[in-house]
Structure 1
Amino acid sequence: MRRAAVVLAALLAASVGAQTGRLEGVVTDAEAGVPVVGAAVRVEVDGAGSARATDAAGRVALDVPAGRASVQVRALGYARLDTIVVVVAGQTTWLDLALVPEALTAAEVVVQARRTETATRADAPVLLVPQAVSVLSAAVLDAQGARDAADALRNVPGVAVRAEGEPGARPVLRGFETDRTGGGVRRNGVEVPYLFDGLQANVARVEVLRGPASVLYGRLEPGGVVNFVTKGPLGRRQLAVEGTGGSLGSGRIAIEAGGPVGGLATRLDASAERDVVRGDVAGTTAFVAPAVRWQRGPLTLDADAEAVAAETTFDPGLAALGADADDLDAVPTDRFFGEPDAVHRWRSAALFTSASWRRRPSFGLRGGLSIGRYVLDRDALELDGLAAAAPPSVARTLQREGLGFTYLKATAFADLRAETGAVAHEVTLGAEGIRAWAQADGSARLEAGPDGLDFATLPPVDLLNPTPTGVDRSRDTSYLDATVRGLDVGAFVQDRATLRIGRVAIHAVAAARLSHVRYGATIFALADTPDAPAGTSERDGQVTAVTPSAGLVVEPAPGLALYASTGASFNPIVERVDRNGEPFEPTRGVQVEGGLKVDGRRAAATLAAFWIRKDDALTAGPGGFYDQTGRQRSRGVEVDLRAEPLPGLTVLASYARLDAEVVEDDNVAPGTPLPYAPRHAGSAWAEWQTGRLALRGGVWTQGTRSGSLGGTVDLPAHALVDLGAEIALGHGVGLRLDVRNALDARGYTAAQTRPGRPGEPLLVAWPTRPRDIRLGVAIVR
């Protein structure tokens, strides 16, 4: 009987193969004639459908049942194309599909933000990725009036941010904070030091892959990865100018221009901004990013450059005496404990180049080379505690910290499509390497203390009426000088296999990566610190790791998928040593995840449940030195919804229930919550468009969360409400009104405790922005 079943299955497979034909074609811009990358091509024959996105050359290929086929092509910024074609069994039918450009609405972006590169290192439908991934398009973020990465990430379930007085809030994914220089935040897939905000004018979308991703990217924390994907060159001529002004004194002007120039597709994004966070905390940013693309036959070459120059007042936070953060609510948000001369300066320049070649849909090559230089120079002013003076005053210290970071990265990928019997394979082979150099230094005024040298304090400021005292750097002494060099190389293979049994599709994903990280450092320190012993020390290390992942997606009907997966992570600890000056072992993580995904024409949703364990975590022990004795665990449920339930009505919603805590540790009690990981968090945003008018509103909530691993202070729950409206006046001119934090609610993005009175510590916290009313005008030609 078993033998008969095998023979019958083979006969059925052969019968199906004999009744199928092949559709191949290219999708182009009807005006510019350039390929349309990532267009969704769907083919239906007798109610059975299959879909695939166009590649970097605009090409697509599908094997479909023979007969009369309905072909539908959709792409962002283009009118939908529908056509009919007859598929002949055993033959290939060629299609030339030209899409007509049209204006883009936020509703279309919400429904069509369905593909990702971050989750697979190759373009793939979000529906078929066996892991939770969110894609936030620039159109949605612009409709929400997002000002920075924190505004973007608040839409993603299971993601929080930690912001302490400087640009570049640190994402906390599923309870685990990303390493600011360890690859958790990326730009076009390249790990960059995340020391300044990443949401610049040239960002096309923000992709967030939640859960371990070392199989794709190498060294990472187990919470996941955030990737800022920049805009590509324009295939048709366009000029857009936008200007905004706010009630707090903020202002911004941005220009976007581009189009075909001498056989090249080009783009230029530029912006200049003055951003007032609160009171005397303000900054300026200048940004420019040109992009160009050359395409000839199967070969496409891209080059994107960007440069940032920014300066922001360093914000040491608000301060008050009390037992919890609620005691800070009476402190005005414009109270300033810092110094106008203490600033955060950032300069960066980067070049991203890539090449892709695909002569036929079954085989393609991709590669890239990028180089970047990032320079940070900041005055880190800290509130150290209550000074021994009357009236109550706050003691402060100031250290100047510098960091120069340079990297060179190369990547190479091969994409293959093949069939083994009834199973279709999409295989990606990849290799990449990054070479990085960093120089760090620190200087401050030092004084002798009971335990050796210590940072000298600035003149204290009144707790209730702080007034700047000025900064004297004439007696500063260099206390730290470090040179760090690193090499990170890796190779991985990934197979996405598909088996169709009637209307049911089964997709299996298996991948593995071999990573090798080598680093060295020369460090000079005047005194012992948790990061380095006094004097000059050398630090060298290397780690080799194999990280696998596997996942299964069952698609019982088009647009519906059940999935399960497991993956691993590793992250070498470069910046710290133990109390004996020896390096630590890398931290390691593992995850199990399962869920449900829905992708319809008017809605897309993900329901995910996960469990993550992180081993060999560091925690501060006696004397401030770190011990590697920790095991931490995170588990939870996430819901992500985006829909257009009615014509003109767009809805985004999310919810996360998270339980992240210490399981084992010599320094922290088991059961202690991980910091900045709220047990409950959610969001809901809607836009209604009627004629030329668009009305918008949303609410973002964060539950109570710990402000430190020791649990010395909790951040209270808060809810922020935004409102907005936009009207199109005609001739490409639009006006908009945004009211950020419309209810002027108070929340906090970070908090710490400092020495105060007995039983009454000094609380230091960073508040959310107060109400801000912004008016804007946009002109598009």
Structure 2
Amino acid sequence: MPDPRPILRPVGGRATLRLLLLAAALGASGAHALQAATGVPPTSVLLDTLSVEGDGVGLTRAAPIGLNLRTPDRGASRLGLTPLETPGSLDIIAGETVRLRGQDTIADAVTQNGTGITTIASPGNGNGAFTSRGFAGPNSIQQLYDGTRMYVGANTVTFPFDTWNVERIEVLRGPASVLYGDGAIGGVINVVPKKPTFTPINVVRAGLGTDGIARLALDSGGPIGDAVAYRLNISGNRAGGWIDPVGDFRNLAVSGAILLQATPDLAFTVSHDLGYQEPARYWGTPLVNGRIPDAIRFNNYNVRDAKITWADNWTQLKTEWTPTADITVRNTAYRLQSRRHWLDVEQYAFNRGTGRIDRSDYLEIYHQQEQVGNRFDAAFRGSLFGFRNEFLAGFDVNHIDFRHTNNFYFDQTTSVPPTNYDPGLFPVNGRARPAYATQTDQASVFAEDRLILTERLSLLTGVRYDAPTLQRENLVTGDRFEKSFQGLGYRFGLVFNPTPDTALYAQYATATDPVNSLITLSQSLAGFRLATGEQVEVGAKGVFLEGKGEWTLAGYRIVKDNLISNVPGQLSVATQVGRQSSLGVEAALSFQVTPLWRVDANFALLRAQYDAFDQTVNGAVVSYAGRQPIDVPERVANAWINYAFARDWEARVGFQYVGTVYSDFGNLARRPAYGLVNLGLDHQVTPASRLSLRVFNLFDKVYAISGNAVDGVGTNWLLGRPRSVELAFTTAF
């Protein structure tokens, strides 16, 4: 795998300059010319960008495809280590890679590129439900935007959702509470947006596809004088949808940032991100005798006037000061706001006795959430006990106001025939009323240290302590209660580098998960204990053939105690499981096989189970020990094969496999494994423009992303996207 840094070091000389200018003008064929002249293989027909540094010119790859093991990041360590220096499993997914593969949502980008990650998210619950290493949901896989965490209300994460403004996505697998607090036993997904740049950038993309899909996006950036730079990304998407009725969707994402380089050592960045969504009002398709009949595959049993709207606003002020080469001070002040509204029917089940579809959970819900906070850290490079050392310490404080309006008092069930039905309207007497309000104050302190014992051996340690306090008021009765928690996470990791391009590592880490969604904690759950977990992981990573290939291999065991799980078929009822564990192995490979062929692949194999879980069912105690946890697949794999078959042309095929999962504790409601095939074809029309064709789910596989069950019987599946085609044109100016 070529280093994502400049693939040609800046050099002087007019001959070199002419060669590089010619290669850039030729597009993909220019990349092949460079390969012949320099031995550096092309990885994509995507237009490369020319950069000038001093008296030299370098060709930098706009799309660092691969595992990026030499790329510094702060996803797995706030010290900015590369994956080769980190004792843990980390995927760094380049934003341009995501866009080249036609992945327009964060969920698609993470699950089709990350190792062992799957999604169980529905259109109505945002993109906040992932599975990783045997654990599922936003309480176990935490999500960040540009390093900032938005506390999850009612298990719903609605931002970010669009990949147009993404610089990269960092996926840290395994416990990460030492970095980001509770809710990260399974891992962390950090979406990093594009940053202001002093190099002028102007890119436009337009796309059309089946089911009425239309996309339009703009990326603009550049200098405003000598000390100020900006970045602006706007993207909008809409479609009629593949399911009827109310399967259409539309959304708008705006991301803007301004950088002030006040002095060479001091920089300020202010940014604002807006997300507005009206997703498809689709919650699943009912099973008929355990299967989805073709006659109802594209039917939606929601009401005709169903509504879902989400509006998110994120404002951040970042300050970075480097008074010396060995000291870096960073501060981020932020305000996050979310407004959400649901009005729909969310549960559907086939009634064998009547032959009709029973509909329940007529819900209207409003969320009003505001989070204001500040994160500070300072990093120091020096020596400790005569060894080189890097140390960082900081704190994170925030205040969250959350208000929940709902109609949970309302109970209604209707039924419609499977076909030729009138979806009806939402009942006027079932509208929402104020239910409860919470105020949460959270404070944490954290520290991290890297001790370089020898040129080949380093020790990484870290600790974080969280102390959130919740106050909740029932807006109907006036009742109040207060609950405080304390969470401690820490890790120890060793990294040994037999060669500069190879790393062996071992890590022990602990983590905590909140009791349900912390800021929406109910009094009935207040007596539950925090879930705690620990992981032991060993692994190896490496770069070979002068950067043409990269690989990772990891084995781990995670044990989680006192986890909280929703009871299938009773979405408002939770239970505390005694113990759950997972034992697994993961591997990834990125290899430029020849100048024309490239392979990127990963897989995850695990054994996940409830170790101690007893529940009373119909008056009898039932043990689920040894059962596979709900929504957790034990086999996951991805592969992408690229072939630059002609001048300015490149084809790619992607494979995704997700193993069998279950919708109930007893493993009776089975959801089958599935495999998907996606295709891509790119043509570099001019040096500044590209035409892209995408085919999703080539063989039109019927598959379930998630599902519900009652008494061990599956009631409905949330189906994935059927076969669809999109054509996009991207141009720079």
Which TM-score tier does this pair reach, normalised by the shorter chain? 0.7 to 0.9
User: Which residue of 445, 458, 463 corresponds with 1:491?
Assistant: 445
User: Superposition RMSD on alpha carbons, in Å?
Assistant: 2.9
User: Which residue of 378, 381, 386 corresponds with 2:345?
Assistant: 381
Aligned partner of 2:257 in structure 1 is: 291
Aligned partner of 1:161 in structure 2 is: 119
Do the aligned partners of 1:399 and 1:444 also contact (CA within 8 Å) in 2? yes
Aligned partner of 1:592 in structure 2 is: 536
Q: Are 2:77 and 1:120 equivalent residues in the alignment?
A: yes
User: Which residue of 144, 151, 167 corresponds with 1:204?
Assistant: 167
Q: Are 2:172 and 1:172 equivalent residues in the alignment?
A: no
Do the aligned partners of 1:699 and 1:719 also contact (CA within 8 Å) in 2? yes
Q: Are 2:189 and 1:226 equivalent residues in the alignment?
A: yes
Quote the Cα distance in structure 2 between the aligned partners of 1:178 and 1:320. Answer: 23
Local SS of the residue matching 1:513: strand
Q: Are 2:552 and 1:606 equivalent residues in the alignment?
A: yes
1:318-359 per-position Cα deviation (integer Å, ceiling 9, x unaligned): 11322x4xx115354311211232122100111122111113
Aligned partner of 1:630 in structure 2 is: 578
Change in 2 beyond 3 A, CA 1:97/1:651: farther
Aligned partner of 1:353 in structure 2 is: 317
Give percent identity, aligned residues only.
22
1:430-466 per-position Cα deviation (integer Å, ceiling 9, x unaligned): 21112111111102673xxxxxxxx122x42112444
Quote the Cα distance in structure 1 between the aligned partners of 2:661 and 2:575. Answer: 24
Counterparts of residues 269-348 of structure 1 (less than 5 Å) = 269-280=233-244, 281-295=247-261, 296-322=263-289, 324=290, 327-328=291-292, 330-348=294-312
Q: Are 2:698 and 1:742 equivalent residues in the alignment?
A: yes
Bigger mean CA deviation after superposition, 98-107 or 398-407: 98-107
User: Which residue of 536, 561, 570 corresponds with 2:503?
Assistant: 561
Partner amino acid, structure 2, of 1:305: H
1:581-604 per-position Cα deviation (integer Å, ceiling 9, x unaligned): 753221111110000111341222
Aligned partner of 1:19 in structure 2 is: none
Do the aligned partners of 2:127 and 2:161 also contact (CA within 8 Å) in 1? no
Counterparts of residues 19-38 of structure 1 (less than 5 Å) = none
Change in 2 beyond 3 A, CA 1:551/1:99: farther
Change in 2 beyond 3 A, CA 1:120/1:625: same
TM-score w.r.t. the length of structure 2 is: 0.85
Local SS of the residue matching 2:305: coil
The structure that is strand-richer by fraction is 1
Aligned partner of 1:27 in structure 2 is: none
Local SS of the residue matching 2:251: strand
Aligned partner of 2:681 in structure 1 is: 725
Quote the Cα distance in structure 1 between the aligned partners of 2:315 and 2:5. Answer: 23
Change in 2 beyond 3 A, CA 1:738/1:430: same
> 5+ residue gaps in structure 1?
1-36, 43-71, 82-95, 447-454, 526-534
User: Which residue of 145, 154, 157 corresponds with 1:195?
Assistant: 157
Quote the Cα distance in structure 1 between the aligned partners of 2:716 and 2:232. Answer: 42
Aligned partner of 1:706 in structure 2 is: 662
Do the aligned partners of 1:314 and 1:379 also contact (CA within 8 Å) in 2? no
User: Which residue of 211, 222, 232 corresponds with 1:259?
Assistant: 222
1:717-774 per-position Cα deviation (integer Å, ceiling 9, x unaligned): 111101111111115122111011111112110111358xxx9x56211111001111
Aligned partner of 1:143 in structure 2 is: 100
Partner amino acid, structure 1, of 2:451: A
Bigger mean CA deviation after superposition, 505-514 or 97-106: 97-106
Change in 2 beyond 3 A, CA 1:390/1:747: closer
- Larger C-alpha radius of gyration, 1 or 2? 1
Change in 2 beyond 3 A, CA 1:442/1:100: farther
TM-score w.r.t. the length of structure 1 is: 0.80
Quote the Cα distance in structure 2 between the aligned partners of 1:236 and 1:109. Answer: 24
Quote the Cα distance in structure 2 between the aligned partners of 1:38 and 1:102. Answer: 10
Partner amino acid, structure 2, of 1:294: L
Give the aligned length. 669
Local SS of the residue matching 2:279: strand
Do the aligned partners of 2:296 and 2:419 also contact (CA within 8 Å) in 1? no
Do the aligned partners of 1:524 and 1:536 also contact (CA within 8 Å) in 2? yes
Change in 2 beyond 3 A, CA 1:303/1:139: same
Q: Are 2:563 and 1:617 equivalent residues in the alignment?
A: yes
Do the aligned partners of 2:679 and 2:694 also contact (CA within 8 Å) in 1? yes
Local SS of the residue matching 2:178: helix
Greater RCO between the two (CA within 8 Å, min separation 6)?
2
Q: Using the TM superposition, give the Cα deviation of residue 312 of structure 1 relative to its aligned residue in structure 2, in angstroms.
A: 2.0
1:151-198 per-position Cα deviation (integer Å, ceiling 9, x unaligned): 112222221110234232511121212326x88111011112453252
Quote the Cα distance in structure 2 between the aligned partners of 1:39 and 1:733. Answer: 22
Local SS of the residue matching 1:485: strand
